[in-house]
Every structure is written in structure tokens, then in C-alpha cells.
Amino acid sequence: MAKRKTKKNPDADVHRVTTSGDIEVSTYLEIAQGMSGKPVATREVEPALEHESIIVMDFGSQYSLLIARRIRECNVYCELVAHDTPWEKIEALNPKGFILSGGPASVYQKNAPLAPAYVYESHLPVLGICYGMQAITKQLGGLVAPGEKKEYGYSILHLNSSDSPLFAGLEDTPAVWMSHGDRIEEMPPGFHALAYTENSPVAVMGNGNGIYGLQFHPEVAHTPQGTAILRNFAYKICGCKGNWTMGNFIQESIARIKNQVGKGKIINALSGGVDSAVVATLLHQAVGDQLTCIFVDNGLLRREEVERTLKVFDENLGMKIIHVNAADRFLYRLKSVTDPEVKRKVIGEEFIEVFEEEANKIGKVDFLAQGTLYPDVIESAASGSTASAKIKSHHNVGGLPARMRLSLIEPLRYLFKDEVRQVGLQLGMPEEMVWRQPFPGPGLAIRIIGDVAREKLEILRSADFIVMNEIKKANLYRHLWQTFAVLTDVKSTGVMGDYRTYGYLVALRAVTSDDVMTADWARLPYDLLARISNRIVNEVQGVNRVVYDITSKPPSTIEWE
């Protein structure tokens, strides 16, 4: 989940908030945290996982989460845990092996973090990556020292012998990605160098007894055969069977949800975004009508969004949905608000009020469903607080009365986004919903520069509809992170037929991105841009000029507000 940037704003003591990229309810809840009203005491429900797993012990590398993701891609369940996690927690995960991640420290520094003794005492296989390899070296009696030359970037790996199970199926001289200053001076007793690079005589080491170290990073895309190495570790060295599939996940979570929920009632705020949609579908398959979804139309959604969402969930999937048309309320509250951060705050607060009112009408409810994903959980844990403490704060639903004591149910909290999409597809959700581009919680309000009025919303909806339509026709929708129109507050002169016009300027934004933290403007074909521009000025009344935004993030953000 990307952290929103804090923009200092003299008028509003709020900032742009964390988002998993969807129009997700947690975003609203977070915005509304500042609201008065007693927070609800939530009891968190921990799903128990029954899988064989590989445990990644985190020493602080920026790539740690990526290791977990790569192992999962090999159909093996993997969790990232703090390097000092107690054994009882690890044992509950049924570990088959450990990976010690990279990290910024140097093992010879005072108080450098090391692996707990159980990692070695368990006799399970261990793979140290970069700092993790150096930790193994130090802990098992070898020597690590600063290298004469730091080694960053590509290196060629030369295998001393191709017999090691770690190298099964690898080509002889694979390219690997290095990023280290320290190096192994002396291996611990019993270890052998299995491969070297120009600058690292010990680029891979092993002791013939299940403990390995890699000086390079197999988890990054720059190590093309890295996933093969991790797969070898998981299957050939740890003996994993590969039972982590989304089909199994669905079966197990349905059983688990039934067990947790019993005869209880669940409410879920449906947003149209992928996460809340998958949560709803999964819960509905598990407990049917014990689930009620609340879908708030804030009047800031795209054209046909409300109809489409209702059609999928109500008509196709047969869910119990309360559709609240709250457009008037939201637009009334937004009247004359021009500051983007105030817009966000107002929308967040109003959402909580509407949600609370509707939830109260249902009667006694036991659970609040939430589309929390694994990166959210990890980020919360890394930000100092415990994961559950921070995650709970997302759900301290400012307005809900304290008498509604809700347990959280978060069936996706162990999944990565790509896994969520796979679950959605396997649950039979329409591709269009599963592959939906992110849409911000505050909706079109932050794509209208200045105040948000009904007629401006209509102009933007029409322009946005054309953009989407053309992008989909050009088969580009899934290749672009986001594509949208912005209604600026600039008006300019034009000429149509014999008349001069004075109309709005619409900006197009289309970006590519992998992780939302950085984005680049998409090099859309000129002909496509021409078609979009032509259609907008011809079909959308009030607009007489279209421009294309060619700035990357940073320095710009994806949204204009």
C-alpha cells in the first residue's frame, strides 16, 4: 500500500491518506479518524493458516516483501516476520525453511540484528540473502569484513559446481543483481563456496546440510533466474509440496469463515473496488445472506458505475445490498469547498455518517468485513506499531456507536494484490471488475479543480466516459495503471462553426506504474489521443480544449488534487 504524501495545508489539519489503490473504505475510515465519536472496540479475528510455509526473517531490506511474493509465486505459502519473532509464532505457521533477508546494517557493528538461535537449532533449511548470508557467517563462526570495492548492479555468477540442488536447471553463468559493501572473508567451518563473481569469491556458499548463503538478490527482476533459485530452495531443499493455490485458499477460507462467523451477521461496505468486491464475494459464498453489503453512492462516481456495481452484486451474484443514494448529502457538504484536502475530509466524514445510519437500521451486527491486504499488514507492522494495532485503527469507525461491538473479518489479510485478483477470477467475478483500474476514494471530486458542482460532474463524467471507452477499444486498459480526465478550472477561447466559444479545458492523464510510488506518463499513440480529444470537444458540451499531461511522478502526483 502506498503512503500518501503529506501536503502541508494551512486550512485543513488532514493529509492525503494511505490507499491500496482502490476506492477502498479503509481510506474513508482513516480520513474520518479525526471525527468525534467514540471509537468502537474491535476484537480482531486471526485466521489460522494451515499451510506448510517458508518464513522470511526481515532484517530491513527494501526487497524483503518481494522475497515473500516470489516464494508465493512458486505456490508455497510464505510470511515475512520481524527477525526477532518468538518461536511460538513461527511454529504455528508450520515452517519448512527460513530465508534471512537483506538489510542495511553491517554484521560487525555493535548490536547488529542476528537470527534467533531457533533458526539453526530447528535443523530446518536456511537461505541467507546478502545481509542474511553475512549473519549466517558471523553466527556460525566465519568472518565478514568491509569489501575493498562495493558491488552494486549486475554481475555474472560462475558456478563452482552445478551439483548443488540450489542450482538445478540453471544456466552456467547467470546474471545476478548485487548490492553490498561487506563481504565474506572466511566462511564458517563446514561451508564451501558454490559460486563466485568477479568481486565476490564467495557469492554463494553452502554447508551440505541445508544452510546456504547468496550474496546477490534473487528476488529482484534484475536477477532473471532468481525465482528459479528460490523455487529450488523451496522444493528441492525444504521439500515443500506447493499447496498454496488460490483454489485451495478459497476452499479453506470459506470453511474458516463459516467457522468464525457461525450464525453472526456481517456488514461490508462495497465500493466497486477490487478488494471490497472480492471480500464480499468470498463472504457471500461462505455465509450467504448473513452478509449485508452497504453501497453508498456519493454522487462522485463515474458514469454507469452505480448500475454496474448493482448489476454484478445484486443481479448476478444475488447478494443482499443496501444501495444508498446519498449524492445530495455529499454535494451539499461539498458546496463551495475548493481545497483538495478539505474535500477529502468532508467526503470521509459524510461517508461514515451514512454508513453508520444504514448499519444501525440492520439491527444487531457482529462483524465488519474489510479488504485489508498483506502489504497493508506488513506496512503497519513496519511503521512501529504492531500490525493489529495499526490495522485496528483503520477500523475504529469513528461514528459507529460503541454499543455495536464489531469483530473485524479480513479474509484477504494474507494475500498480495495479484493473489486477490486470482481469487476474484476463480470465484467467477467478471474480468472487468477484477482488473479494474484504481479509483480514488473521494472519486471525481478530486478530479474537478476547484468547487464541485453537479453540472461540472456531468461534464467530467461525459469526458471520462469517452476516455475509458477509447482506451478499452485500443486494448490498453489493463496495461495502464490509471487513465482519466480532469476538469480544470481554466477556461479558454475556441471557435466552433461561426461562433467563438469560451469553454473548459479538460486534461487527460494516463500513467504506467508498478507500485504507485512512481509513475510515468503513458506514451499513448497520437491517433488515439486525437480520437479522444476530437470526441470530447465534439460530444461534451462546455469543453473546447483538451491537453495531455506529460509529467511523471515524482515530481507530479497521479491525481491533480
What residues line the site for ligand XMP (CB under 6 A)?
Answer: 2, 4-5, 16-17, 19, 21, 23-24, 27, 344, 438, 440-442, 482, 516, 553, 557-559
Considering the complex, what minimum distance in angstroms separates the CB of residue 366 from ligand XMP? 27
Distance CA 57, CA 552 (A): 35
* Structure-block grid coordinates of residue 323: 444501495
**Amino acid making up residue 349:** E
Q: How many helices (H) and strands (E) does the chain have?
A: 17, 20
Nearer to ligand XMP, 27 or 53 (CB): 27
Distance CA 248, CA 75 (A): 11
Q: Are 22 and 273 in contact (CB under 8 A)?
A: yes
Considering the complex, what minimum distance in angstroms separates the CB of residue 24 from ligand XMP? 6
Q: Is 293 a catalytic residue?
A: no
Q: Are 57 and 118 in contact (CB under 8 A)?
A: no
Nearer to ligand XMP, 289 or 520 (CB): 520
Provide the residue count of the chain: 561
Nearer to ligand XMP, 72 or 344 (CB): 344
Nearer to ligand XMP, 6 or 62 (CB): 6
Nearer to ligand XMP, 220 or 342 (CB): 342
Distance CA 521, CA 519 (A): 7
Considering the complex, what minimum distance in angstroms separates the CB of residue 347 from ligand XMP? 8
Indicate the helix (H) or strand (E) that contains 432.
Answer: helix 431-434
Considering the complex, what minimum distance in angstroms separates the CB of residue 486 from ligand XMP? 11
CA 429 to chain centre: 20
Distance CA 547, CA 543 (A): 11
Distance CA 363, CA 265 (A): 9
* Structure-block grid coordinates of residue 354: 451514512
Considering the complex, what minimum distance in angstroms separates the CB of residue 430 from ligand XMP? 21
DSSP 42: P
Catalytic one of 30, 219, 419, 470: 219
Of residues 352, 270, 269, the one with CA closest to residue 38? 352
Q: Is 219 a catalytic residue?
A: yes
Considering the complex, what minimum distance in angstroms separates the CB of residue 351 from ligand XMP? 11
Nearer to ligand XMP, 458 or 559 (CB): 559
3-state secondary structure 383-400: CCCCHHHHHHHHHCCCCC
Considering the complex, what minimum distance in angstroms separates the CB of residue 371 from ligand XMP? 12
Q: Are 240 and 52 in contact (CB under 8 A)?
A: yes
Q: Is 24 a catalytic residue?
A: no
Of residues 490, 514, 508, 511, the one with CA closest to residue 558? 511
Nearer to ligand XMP, 2 or 306 (CB): 2
CA 24 to chain centre: 11
Q: Around Cβ 502, how many Cβ atoms within 10 Å?
A: 10
Catalytic one of 74, 78, 130, 240: 130
Considering the complex, what minimum distance in angstroms separates the CB of residue 561 from ligand XMP? 8
Nearer to ligand XMP, 130 or 558 (CB): 558
DSSP 187: P
Cα distances (Å, whole numbers) of residue 143 to 294, 407, 434: 60, 50, 50
Alpha helices, H only, 183-326: 226-232, 246-261, 274-287, 305-310
Catalytic one of 51, 180, 217, 395: 217
Q: Name the residues annotated as catalytic.
A: 130, 217, 219
